[in-house]
Amino acid sequence: MPQETRLTLAHLQRIERYTDALVQAADDHLSPQRMRTLPQAMKLSQLSNFLGVASESGSSPRAVANWVEYQMGRRETRRAWQESGLGKDILSQIRQMNQWAQTIVAEAQANATATDNDPAQSAADPEWQQRLVHLKLIRLYAGYLRRTFVARGGQ
């Protein structure tokens, strides 16, 4: 069962509120200036792999961050991920998305409790919900990052 199907409509509606912020973060992290200075070592496949790791990580946002750290440390990809600052920006964004996930889950939980519209929501484990929401945010961001890279001429 795909992760998104385990999120309630209340979660998904709240996640949508962050779309513009996620697109803006991708735009900022791959600014025209960074694209001019980004080493030729950065390839579209690396951002595709980032999206793939985010999509396949199950329920672990930390596994996605670990993959970024790995890219920052690898000799072959260090210039693109570490020296350019891109990896640091992505890790910072992942931390920010964790805070957003906490807010989303708390709001959805409070709404479900107040309205009793979704008893499954109020009984669900908030920590698990937070992980799923966090991963959904990371997946969206990874997709926007990849699109921005292509739109700005990255191949």
pLDDT on residue 124:
67
pLDDT on residue 147:
97
Residue 116 in contact with residue 122, Cβ under 8 Å?
yes
> What's the Cα-to-Cα distance from 66 to each of 54, 84, 130, rounded to whole Å?
11, 18, 18
Instruction: Place 2 in a pLDDT band, splitting at 50, 70 and 90.
Output: very low
pLDDT on residue 155:
76
pLDDT on residue 154:
86
Average pLDDT, integer, range 95-113: 91
Comparing CA positions, the residue from 117, 131, 148, 119 lying closest to residue 54 is 131
Instruction: Place 7 in a pLDDT band, splitting at 50, 70 and 90.
Output: confident
Does residue 1 register a pLDDT over 50? no
pLDDT on residue 96:
98
Tokens standing for 20? 């513009």
Among 5-19, 68-82, 113-127, which stretch is predicted with the lowest mean pLDDT? Answer: 113-127
The predicted-structure confidence for 20-64, as pLDDT tens digits, reads as follows: 999 999 999 999 999 988 877 789 999 999 999 999 988 799 999
pLDDT on residue 114:
60
The predicted-structure confidence for 108-151, as pLDDT tens digits, reads as follows: 988 776 655 555 544 568 899 999 999 999 999 999 999 999 99
pLDDT on residue 120:
52
Task: Dump the DSSP string for 44-92.
Answer: HHHHHHHHHHHHHSTT-HHHHHHHHHHHHH-TTTHIIIIITSHHHHHHH
Give CA–CA dist 137/39, Å, rounded: 27
pLDDT on residue 115:
57
